[in-house]
Each structure stands twice: as structure tokens, then as C-alpha cells.
Structure 1
Amino acid sequence: MYWTEFLTVALIHLLAVASPGPDFAVVVRESVAHGSRAGRWTAVGVGCGIFVHVTYSLLGIGLIVSQSLWLFNALKWLAAAYLLYIGIKALRARPAAPAELADGPAPARSLRGAFTSGFVTNGLNPKATLFFLSLFTVVIDPHTPLLVQAGYGVYLAVATGAWFCLVAALFSQHRVRAGFARLGHWFDRLMGAVLVGLGIKLAFTSLR
């Protein structure tokens, strides 16, 4: 009965998640710098961040945020500050020492840190707030049972996590990481510039 609506939601989500943004940049950076495990846990963090947006959309809080310039700006500046923070850290990356260029395991990265990086990046993204608000108010019929809407939310979280796990698998491949190894600091700086750019763009995002 709800298959048409679900397929519409799935298609819109696919188009949205495939477009590069803060989530993509963070997953790629973690995967290249720290390997597949860190990349996967970052992807899982991004997927779990989706539950934040789904929860407040189902509760109607997203509508309140969208109508409150103060709340929207608070969320926007918090997210922008976080992106600027991790971006500036990446911009300060230094060339690896000769010994570090030899083939070997990726630098240690706590799984909690990787997960938190993905979760915070996605959960604080006000653009995601507007996306889910429009999804749950325009695309999804208000008369659709809450349980069905929650099911859509679970799908969105799982699909997002799965997509970024694929991204992590690609960018943590030995050949890919080896290619970045000798120019790793430039890659970090590039990703840092991307994150800083996204943070600045986010800071100037307007509600209306």
C-alpha cells in the first residue's frame, strides 16, 4: 500500500546521499588516514546521525526549528564551528616522516572517535534538518501511520550507513591509501580546505 511512497523516499534519499558534502568528506578523510575500520565506524556514525533527524521529524520538532530563526542559527553555527575545527586541524597536517611512508598498518584511531566524528558531522547538519523536514512534511503523507514513517526512517539510516561503508571500502583500499601516503599531508590539507569551505558555506545558509 505504501510502496510508491517508499520508493519515492528512497529515490530522493539516494540523490541526496550521493551528492558530496560534509559526511562524504569526513568518511573519506578517516578512511584514507586511518584505514577501513575507522572509515566504517565513521560511516556507522553518519548512519546513526540520521536517527536524530528522523526522531525530531516524527516528533514535529523539526517544524519548530524551521520556523525559529534563533534555533536554526544556533544549530547552523554549532555545525559550522565543528566543520571549521576539524577542517583547520586537517589544514595544519605536516608531511609524514620517511619511516611513516613505508607500507604498514594505518595510524591508530579509536573506534569511538571515528564514530563520533561521523555522528556529530551528520547530526549537527542543519541542511539535513531541512531535508528531513521537507521529506516528512511534503513527500510523506501526514496520514501515513507513524510506525510506517518510523520504518522509512530506519531504512534511511541503514541505507546511509551502507552507502558510506562502500565509500570507506573504496578509499581504504591499499592502492588508494598507498597513492595518498606520499602526498598524505596535501590530501589532508585538501580535505581540510573542503571542510572549511563547507563550514563557511553552512555559516551563511539562510533559513528562508
Structure 2
Amino acid sequence: MYWAEFLTVALIHLLAVASPGPDFAVVVRESVTHGRRAGTWTALGVGTAIFLHVGYSLLGIGLIVWQSIMLFNALKWLAAAYLLYIGFKALRARPGAPGSENVQASTVERTPRAAFVAGFMTNGLNPKATLFFLSLFTVVINPHTPLAIQAGYGAYLAVATGLWFCLVAMLFSQQRVRAAFARMGHWFDRTMGAVLIALGVKIAFTEMH
């Protein structure tokens, strides 16, 4: 009975998650810089943050944020500040030792907790994700659809997002890929830092529609 609605939700989500954004940039950076383990934990952080968006959408709390310019702007500036922080941090990357082509771009081991938090914060604070889920649960999904079914949609969205970014982490943490990026050394880190800063600025100018 709800298959058509579910397929619509799944298709919209597929198109949204496949388009590069802050989540993609952070997972790629963690995977290349710190390896598959860190990239996977970051992907799991992104996937877990989806439950946050789904939760407030189901509870109706999201509508309060949506209708309050002050709350929306607070969320927006928090997200922008976080992306700018990790972006500027990446811009400060220094060149490796001369002649060094070590695949491990960072000598500091990334803890699973730090990688998970990076993914969770990036997605959880993203106001565009907030707008996406509010639109999904107020426009695409029929309000008369049972709450249990809607929760099932939410669980699918979280798992599918986590799996997608785990695949991204697997791809960008491969030895060949990391070796190619390592040859660019600190320039890769600086480039990703610039991308994150650009995304942060873009989010800062996000407007409610």
C-alpha cells in the first residue's frame, strides 16, 4: 500500500545523497588522510545523524525551527562555523618531509570517536539537511501515513546514507587512491580545506524558502 510512497522517498534520497556536499567532502578527507577505518567511522557518524533529522521531523519539532528565523539562523551559523573551523584547520597542512611519499597523509592516528563526531556534526548541523527532511516529511510523505511506517522510512534513510558513505570511504581509502592523493601531499588537504570553507560560506547564506 505504501510502496509507491517509499519508492518516491528512496529515489529523492538517492539523488540528494549522491550529490557532493559537506558529508561527501568530510568522508573523502577522512578516508584519504586517515584511512578506511576513520572514513568508515565518519560515514557511520553521518548515517547516525540522519536519525536526528528524522526524529525531530516525526515529532514536529522541526516545524518550529522551520518557522522560526532566529532558530534557523542559529543552526545555520553553527553549521557554517564548524565547516569553516575544520576547513581552515586543513588549510594549515604543511608539506611532508622531502622525498617522502608515505601514503599515510597524517602521522596522527584518528580515533574512531573523533571520526564519528566529525561525520555526525557535519550532517547534524547542516541546515540544508534540515530543510530536506522537513520537506520530505511534510510534502512528499502523506501526513496520514502511520507513524510506524514513517519511522521505517527514516530507518531506511539512515541506513542507506551510512552504507553509501561507507562505500565512498572504501573507494577513497584504497591504497592506489591514497597513494595518488599522497603524491599531492599537503595540497590535497589544502584543497579539501578550501572546499569545506566554500561549503561553509554557502551554508551561511542559505535562506529559508
* TM-score, normalised via structure 1 length: 0.97
CA RMSD of aligned residues (A): 1.3
Q: Secondary structure of the residue that 1:207 maps to in structure 2?
A: coil
Cα distance in 2 between the residues matched to 1:82 and 1:123:
11
Q: Secondary structure of the residue that 2:206 maps to in structure 1?
A: coil
**AA partner of residue 28 (structure 2):** V
Cα distance in 2 between the residues matched to 1:101 and 1:64:
51
On the 8 A contact 1:30/1:39 being kept in 2, the answer is yes
Residue in structure 1 matched with residue 145 of structure 2 by the alignment: 144
1:105-140 residue CA offsets vs partner (Å, 9 max, x unmatched) = 974110000000000000000100000000000000
Residue in structure 2 matched with residue 43 of structure 1 by the alignment: 43
Residue in structure 2 matched with residue 129 of structure 1 by the alignment: 130
* TM-score, normalised via structure 2 length: 0.96
> 2:170 aligned with 1:169, yes or no?
yes
On the 8 A contact 1:32/1:180 being kept in 2, the answer is yes
Instruction: Give the percent of matched residue pairs that are identical in Structure 1 and Structure 2.
Output: 77
**Runs in 1 of length 4+ with deviation above 3 angstroms?**
102-107
Give 5+ residue unaligned stretches, structure 2.
none
Cα distance in 2 between the residues matched to 1:198 and 1:105:
23
Shift of 1:18: 0.2
Residue in structure 2 matched with residue 178 of structure 1 by the alignment: 179
Cα distance in 1 between the residues matched to 2:29 and 2:46:
14
**AA partner of residue 97 (structure 1):** A
User: Which 10-residue stretch deviates more, 174-183 or 76-85?
Assistant: 174-183
Cα distance in 2 between the residues matched to 1:186 and 1:84:
18
Cα distance in 2 between the residues matched to 1:157 and 1:111:
19
Residue in structure 1 matched with residue 18 of structure 2 by the alignment: 18
Give 5+ residue unaligned stretches, structure 1.
none
Residue in structure 1 matched with residue 71 of structure 2 by the alignment: 71
**AA partner of residue 69 (structure 1):** I
Shift of 1:206: 1.1
**Count of aligned pairs between the two proteins:** 208
Shift of 1:99: 7.3
Cα distance in 1 between the residues matched to 2:13 and 2:135:
12
Cα distance in 1 between the residues matched to 2:99 and 2:192:
24
Cα distance in 2 between the residues matched to 1:49 and 1:98:
40
